[in-house]
Structure 1
Amino acid sequence: MVDKKEEIVSFLKKNIKESRVSHIFRVSEYARKLAKYYGLNEDKAEIAALLHDCAKGIEDNFSNSLVETEEFKILDLKNYPKLSHAAFAVILARDKFNIYDEDILNAIKFHTTSRQMASDLENIIFLADKLEPGRTYKEREKLEKAAFTSLALGTLETLNANIIYLIEENRTIHPLALESRNYLLKKLEGNI
């Protein structure tokens, strides 16, 4: 994975805007921290984090036909085009960096929305993206505490905060986020 990391970092520095690369590096560090805390594979978390936004800002370089495949219909990119970077990041991970680990690819794909029955790695990348230290919103500290209590609680609380923000901004909420939130709520209540 060390070879992959160097290749990915080189790509990021050449192709992605500097402020986004800084965010990606902070997400990567935070993902490693969460993975270590929960006894999970830190290298996988780091690779998924490095790749989660690897297509952000360069979406125009990809053919929209790529995201019309069955694999990406779940993201409903026609109605949620801002999520296209997640789909294109999966394509880059697989086709450019030869990453075929489904857990890593799913962590990249669902890093903006989460989903029902997300893996621990998926939750880690979702949380790391929302809670990395460069984020300065008022609930961050409370959400970080929840994330280090349990991945399910951290993800639920972070989804709740994000959904409230989207409602206040009068923006649409992706169905996957709502489904994930409801699933986690039932799980934490012991109903699943």
Structure 2
Amino acid sequence: MERDQMIESVKAQMPEKRWKHTEGVMATAVQLAVRFGENPEQAELAAILHDVAKYWPVDRMEKVLRDQKLAPELLAQDKNLWHAEVGAWVAEHEYGVTDALVLDAIRFHTSGRLAMTRLDKVVCLADYMEPGRDFPGVDDIRRLSKDSLEQALLAGFDSTILLLLKKGKAIFPLTIEARNGLIEELKTGG
């Protein structure tokens, strides 16, 4: 599918405010990709599709997760996590994306994962800090992103974890693993 067709299709599946967010993620992902030596075309493609399933009805997402036998552990987690896994499936099966790196960047843009690729980090961080985001600590994340993808993403995970703790919500184990993996990367310089 051509880029413009894809954009129109994705835009039609979400409210205008979420589309503005997606545009912000697209621009930010490209900037981060260039800054940190990642492929900007892959970053933009993952950003275009990262929230494609975000506004699907919960029962539709659940049907895809169950029918396609995708990440069964997600069914026991907060439904806000479902759209990333479903979105990766949609990107592949409805939009024809075959690039495994792009699909994984979509899949893990909400939770992170252990041993994140640089593209995973770029898309996840872009989602945290696109210009429309406004939450306590976002300016620190943006400042950190000038020099370190890992430091900025660590600050993003910290803000999410603190928010979930304050709300008394469960923390998805992949997010803890992603955070711990970033700490290890920063310690070892790798």
1:148 to 146, 149, 163: 146
TM-score, length basis structure 1:
0.90
1:7 alignment counterpart = 5
* 1:92-131 equivalences in 2 (<5 Å): 92-131=90-129
**Is residue 72 of structure 1 aligned with residue 101 of structure 2?**
no
Structure 1 residues 63 and 135: CA distance shift in structure 2, 3 A: closer
Q: Which amino acid aligns with 1:73?
A: P
Give deviations 1:115-136, integer Å, cap 9, x for gaps: 1100001001110111011111
Question: Does the Cα contact within 8 Å between 2:61 and 2:83 map onto a contact in 1?
Answer: no
Report the 3-state secondary structure (helix = DSSP H, G, I; strand = E; otherwise coil) of the residue aligned with 2:28. helix
Structure 1 residues 121 and 142: CA distance shift in structure 2, 3 A: same
Question: Does the Cα contact within 8 Å between 2:61 and 2:86 map onto a contact in 1?
Answer: no
Structure 1 residues 172 and 22: CA distance shift in structure 2, 3 A: same
Q: RMSD of aligned C-alpha atoms?
A: 1.9
- Which segments of 5 or more consecutive residues in structure 1 lack a partner in the other structure? none
Structure 1 residues 162 and 62: CA distance shift in structure 2, 3 A: same
Mapped to 2, the partners of 1:28 and 1:191 lie a distance apart of: 28
Percent identity over paired residues: 28
Aligned length: 189
Tell me how far 1:72 sits from its aligned partner: 2.1
TM-score, length basis structure 2:
0.91
* 1:30-179 equivalences in 2 (<5 Å): 30-60=28-58, 62=60, 64-68=62-66, 69=68, 71-73=70-72, 76-179=74-177
